[in-house]
Amino acid sequence: MTAAGAAGQTAAPSTVAAPGTATAAARVPALSYFFPAHNEEANLRGLVDEALATLPTLAEAFEVVIVDDGSRDATPQIADELAAADPRVRAAHHPRNLGYGAALRTGFGAARHELIAFTDGDRQFRVADIGRLTARFAEGGADVVVGYRIKRADPLVRTLYAKAYRLANRIFFGLRVTDVDCACKLFRRDALTGINVESGGAFFSAELLIKLRASGRTVVEVGVPHYPRTAGSPTGAKPQVVFRAMRDFWRLRLRLWAAPRRALSRGEPILGDG
């Protein structure tokens, strides 16, 4: 596959498989689970407790990485307390809020195991549902398993924005993924080698999938439940977040038109190891 073809508007049928409905968890040898957290003091303890109770059923060895993205509430202190209380938990901190993509990048860089999964820190996904992803991975043939929200539990404005965003990614990048920004994904570590991403904001996930696809990685999909946020405040629909995502969107699209190979290589390594 050429870089120009990979960056075009026609999706490669062999790259994104049809959505699956796997539900039975598959226990894997080792799993890194991380989540970004920005001002999530009300959710943090509950999510880590949930992870520590659930992950032993999904992996023989595991770790939990909390990525504090410059929180101004008690999130940094709680994260450090949780890490000090259990060696399976680690905390990474940004000195200031760097954005969603930057937090994901830090999580990937901190992960130590062969399989890497993440959700958001707002508890709108259950850790147990990562089992749907590991089950699909165990079937073989996948480098990446991405979730799609079976029924999105978000306000109407966010749902409409997501539909428009998905359509834009399909039209301008040929990215045929049901739910681009679903924060329930599983990656084979080797699949991330050599992948660079430039965006540090909300476009990070789309850019990552676009570049994985262009590199010939196989991405498959599995439906996952989505739950209403019960604590904390969402930030994804803030104007500055949307503006940054649109800026990064068009920057990549224009660069792909101008110089595809160079555009695909721009950015920082996902794994931080070049």
From the candidate CATH numbers 1.20.58.340, 3.30.450.40, 3.30.300.30, 3.90.550.10, the one assigned to the domain spanning 3-265: 3.90.550.10
Pairing assessment for the beta strands 28-37 and 59-69 based on DSSP bridges: parallel
Cα(73)–Cα(41) distance, rounded to whole angstroms? Answer: 7
For the whole model, what pTM was predicted? 0.90
Annotate 164-227 with DSSP letters as a single string: HHHHHHHHHH----S-TT-SEEEEEGGGGTT-EE---STTHHHHHHHHHHHTT--EEEEEE---
Question: pLDDT tens per residue, the chain (274 residues)?
Answer: 444 344 443 333 334 454 444 445 568 999 999 999 999 999 999 999 999 999 999 999 999 999 999 999 999 999 999 999 999 999 999 999 999 999 999 999 999 999 999 999 999 999 999 999 999 999 999 999 999 999 988 888 888 888 999 999 999 999 999 999 999 999 999 999 999 999 999 999 999 999 999 999 999 999 999 999 888 666 656 788 889 999 999 999 999 999 999 999 999 999 975 4
